[in-house]
Structure 1
């Protein structure tokens, strides 16, 4: 891949996200194996045609996912994968259809648990994220709107009070963030779906399992 081609591809997403995805793909394919040292910052900057801050942010993303580890004074190395790391890498290379299927399964599951287990603190988090979603959508702030949308659903996942389920949802949300930033070019769909999200919160607060599940199903089918 030439530098020019790399730059053209990267510009479709955030620089750091694309660099991280490319490196994860190379790790998955065996270009870099467990224990291997990744190229240095200057080498990565030259390869991707980006600045130091983008490279550092990409490495940080990989570290947070447990894909690599940074050894001070020595460099960045491919980490020994845990089961969760494997899931993260597979999600990072999944297509939109696969991510949508995972999202549909998880969204229904977390809503069902949140209806029974939500606390007042959980409700306030959901309400605050949903309000930010509305404000950012109306202002046309796409990235902020997408972030607020995912934070709303993450708040529901946390309200399920199942740490494993919440961690799995967070992992999926990380990859949905990149995908949403790629496929959406405006906030109209978020404005149109605000009502259904508000209904969902209302049903969760009321403990109305039947309508909460029905509304969650509608939301995951919305464009």
Structure 2
């Protein structure tokens, strides 16, 4: 296995954690402003911002817009991504079952013409690769189709949770479908129906179709 080098942002995050553990930054204390942190750690603004984002996700820092970044804990919370890495595929599928219909309904209301173009592109690629029995490409096109719908839903939190869930779908496709695309050919019509419902702004119909896709009712 190749050794992964830490990014500058992760190195800054680790040094911040060390400082917090040593009470250099106390709980409740406001961190120095970005420009000062850049001088302290010798990195650019983007690395500082990414490090703060990492520690915010872990529950160590809290960013208050217009006020500053505060230390709220010495203990990292396990990230959603990490938890899903440990989850069974059935649990990930259950998360999708809870999210897909809501996301599809919101996408039908909030989608733009650019969103529709992207969704339609992945729908067509899904069909093309399924017909050519290019399994990996087909699976990825299917994932991208659903991710594009999530991008169109207008709710960033739903979108981010869904993105994390879909990272774990490819392995389940490979296990369940054994490098075959037959079921993707069969389900192309219902995916087209979902696109049409979103394009027509029919939130109720989009929700119902999305749930059928997750439940594999074709």
TM-score (norm 2): 0.65
- 1:200 matched to 2:194? The reply is yes
- Compute the displacement of 1:70 (Å): 6.3
Could you list the runs of 5+ residues in structure 2 that have no partner in the other structure?
13-53, 60-76
Q: Who is 2:121 aligned against? A: 128
Q: Who is 1:119 aligned against? A: 112
Deviations 1:58-104 (A, max 9, x none): x48xx79xxx9469xxxxxxx86616962111111111221111011
Deviations 1:112-153 (A, max 9, x none): 110110000000000000000000011111111111001000
Equivalent residue in structure 2 for 1:154, among 147, 155, 162: 147
- 1:221 matched to 2:197? The reply is no
Residue 154 of structure 2 aligns to a residue whose secondary structure is: coil
Between Structure 1 and Structure 2, the one with more helix by share is 1
Residue 167 of structure 2 aligns to a residue whose secondary structure is: helix
Could you list the runs of 5+ residues in structure 1 that have no partner in the other structure?
1-44, 46-54, 72-78
Q: Who is 2:79 aligned against? A: 86
**Which 4+ stretches in 1 moved above 4 angstroms?**
none
Deviations 1:181-222 (A, max 9, x none): 232211011111000000000011011122211211111111
Task: Name the CA shift for 1:70/1:177 in 2 (closer, same or farther; >3 Å).
Answer: farther
Q: Quick check: 120-129 or 85-94, which moved more?
A: 85-94
Deviations 1:46-69 (A, max 9, x none): xxxxxxxxx26xx48xx79xxx94
- 1:187 matched to 2:187? The reply is no
Aligned residues: 156
Q: Who is 2:138 aligned against? A: 145
